[in-house]
Amino acid sequence: MSGNHNPINRHDSGIYRPKMEKVFIIICVVFLCLVLRLWYLQVIKGDEMAQRSETNSIRSYKIHALRGLIYDRNGNILVDNQPSYDIVFIPGKNRDLKTAVKSLESLYDARSLSMTHDLVRLSAGERSYSPIRLDRNVNAQKLAVVETWSMDLPGVAVDVIPKREYLYGDMMAHLIGYVGEVSRAELENDPAGKYRSGDFIGKYGIERFFDDHLRGKSGAEKIEVNAWGRKVKSLRKLEPTQGDNLHLTIDTSLQQKVWEAFSGQRGAVVVMSVRTGEILAMISAPSFDPNLFTGGISPREWKKISANPQHPMENRAISGQYPPGSVYKLVVAAAALEEKIVTPEKTFTCHGAFKFGNHTFRCWNKGGHGSVNLHRAIVESCDVYFYHVGNQLGVDRIAQYARGCGLGEATGLSLPREKGGLVPSQEWKKTARKQPWLKGETISVSIGQGYNLTTPLQLARFYAALANGGILYRPILVRRIDGPGGQLAWEAEPEEMGRLPISDANIKILNRALWGAVNDGGATGGAARRPERDVCGKTGTSQVVGLPSNEEARKRKVLTAAHKDHALFTAFAPCNNPEITVAVIAENAGGGGSVAAPIARKVIDAYFAGKRKDLRHAAQQ
């Protein structure tokens, strides 16, 4: 019996060994997979997993910096900041953007609220916590929907963004400009990394030119949230830094008067201090409302502005290029005096026309002015006198003096998109047109027609230099910049950019003629005359299209409103101790004496009325 073995107790390792090896291999493979998975998650995906883990309970929010405020010269605020509320989607715990949008839309629909959004797909390169804007600048109703139903809208939050408020709308639009969200192109062309997606930056005017000062520096806050996304506590906070404040040279009261005086016209007005170059008022019409851009302009509104044939977004004061007409005669007169082509006493006879070759150049006065010297030629704006003078000078000498008077180049004003105009010469035409200069073209140039192009700001600066004794100042628009704490960061000073190529004696001769052009009998600028008889100025009427020399053909030619002459008037006052210069151009409005001069008169009246008011106020204090 002892030799019999119980099969239950018998151990035969050979039978189970292959099975055990298989189990062991499986266990090893599983363990290896676990190890590899842990390595992948910790090493390869470690940063992402850490971020996902953190966003389950901790979120980082950008705190938008307040842009600097903009004031006028008297401390009146022109641009303010107001809170604006955006609805955003913050990926993290919930990555289902489409579901979040549909949920929000259904809540909106139930209350007859519309939603404007751009379903942006989360690209592989985007971080999972970058917010996506669903609705911009929402009203109180939409804000209440999101706050009330926040538990049903995972990932949806409210972002508070400062919004610009332009207190004077279209009256200041071309000066101040507007802000907008940084575009993809601007981000790609930002090697210094100044901008971040979602930033608002200056797009036009002062907002754009001084964006680095105005923008400030954003802050951030890291907060702990609960399972519903509600804030539990703040973990760390970096306060934003407000942008610098700008104080302009603009006088808002005067700007308002200029805007009212120019009402109904297209064109521009510039009012400048002759002693410093400060811009006291500058308007361009038609204009636009910059507040349309602060909350994101709709496609319909943008098309309405951008497709407008009147070009309301063009700042005509600095980028409108016009033939200067008879306002330019002061350049030709100065050149003739300096080059001794004429003396103040020398006369030419005007019979109403000037024949040159086979062409007849007409004077505005068909009956002619008779025997005319320099003073009377400026006072009555005799074209024939300047045809004679211009022909003797030649286009290149005229161009030399025009450039010396600051024409044909940008003035250096602190605004984007300023244009330089055009001073024609033989070399210019040869280079630009591949054609030789024709002597007859000089005749047209001598009265500010032909290829001549100037901006209202250039004309204002030229006449300011005549008024102050010959100094061409850089126009100033920003008086000073203050840091967010009120400390002075920068202050403008008058900057001399050159001097007129005209002697003091000849400047006095020209200024006496400018006084006569407003105050003498027969003066073309008589509509600008004040009881004080203190305005010096010159009218101009520039042709938009040429007219036939034949009288019958001229009568038959029908001009549309868009082809009517531009009306110009440039002046300074008071004559004996000049303070301001005014340049007016009214597009397709007719004669400078009948249209532009009365506008300038209203502007000058408003300036001195404001000055008297300031003196009375100072005396009362």
Task: Look at residue 608 and give its three-state secondary structure.
Answer: helix
Task: Look at residue 416 and give its three-state secondary structure.
Answer: coil
CA–CA gap between residue 590 and residue 165 (Å, rounded): 37
Listed residue (526, 426, 411) closest to 457, CA to CA: 411
Confidence bin at 120 (pLDDT 50/70/90): very low
In the chain, the percentage of residues whose pLDDT exceeds 90 is 63
The H-or-E segment that residue 305 falls in is helix 299-306
Residue with tokens 């029908």: 558
Kindly report, residue by residue over 345-403, the tens digit of the pLDDT. 999 999 999 999 999 999 999 999 999 999 999 999 999 999 999 999 999 999 999 99
pTM comes to 0.85
Find all residues with CB under 8 Å of 278, minimum gap 6, and list them: 73, 249, 272, 475, 476, 477, 479
Residue 151 DSSP label: G
Q: How many whole angstroms from its chain centre is CA 436? A: 38
Answer whether 462's CB lies under 8 Å from 329's CB: no
Listed residue (511, 475, 512) closest to 495, CA to CA: 475
* Catalytic residue from among 84, 284, 326, 444: 326
Query: Looking at residue 181, what is its pLDDT?
Result: 86
Architecture per CATH, 252-288+314-620? 3-Layer(aba) Sandwich (3.40)
The answer to whether 60 is a known catalytic residue is no
Kindly report, residue by residue over 507-545, the tens digit of the pLDDT. 999 999 999 999 999 999 999 999 999 999 999 999 875
Q: What angle do CA 93, 97, 100 make, to 5 degrees?
A: 85
Longest alpha-carbon distance in the chain: 161
For residue 434, how many other CB atoms are within 10 A of its CB? 7
Kindly report, residue by residue over 267-308, the tens digit of the pLDDT. 999 999 999 999 999 999 999 999 999 877 888 899 999 999
Task: Look at residue 132 and give its three-state secondary structure.
Answer: strand
The H-or-E segment that residue 581 falls in is strand 580-586
* Amino acid (one-letter) located at 491: E
**φ, ψ at 523 (rounded to 5°):** -70, 140
Confidence bin at 549 (pLDDT 50/70/90): very low
Architecture per CATH, 58-248? Alpha-Beta Complex (3.90)
Examine the pLDDT at 134 and tell me if it is beyond 60.
Answer: yes
Find all residues with CB under 8 Å of 292, minimum gap 6, and list them: 301, 305
Q: Do domains 58-248 and 252-288+314-620 have the same CATH topology?
A: no
Residue ranges covered by each domain of the chain: 58-248, 252-288+314-620
CA–CA gap between residue 211 and residue 49 (Å, rounded): 38
CA distances to 117, 366, 454, 525 from 301, rounded to whole Å, are 17, 49, 32, 41
Kindly report, residue by residue over 14-73, the tens digit of the pLDDT. 666 676 777 777 788 778 887 777 777 666 766 655 555 555 567 777 888 999 999 999
> Mean pLDDT, the chain, as a whole number?
88
Confidence bin at 465 (pLDDT 50/70/90): very high
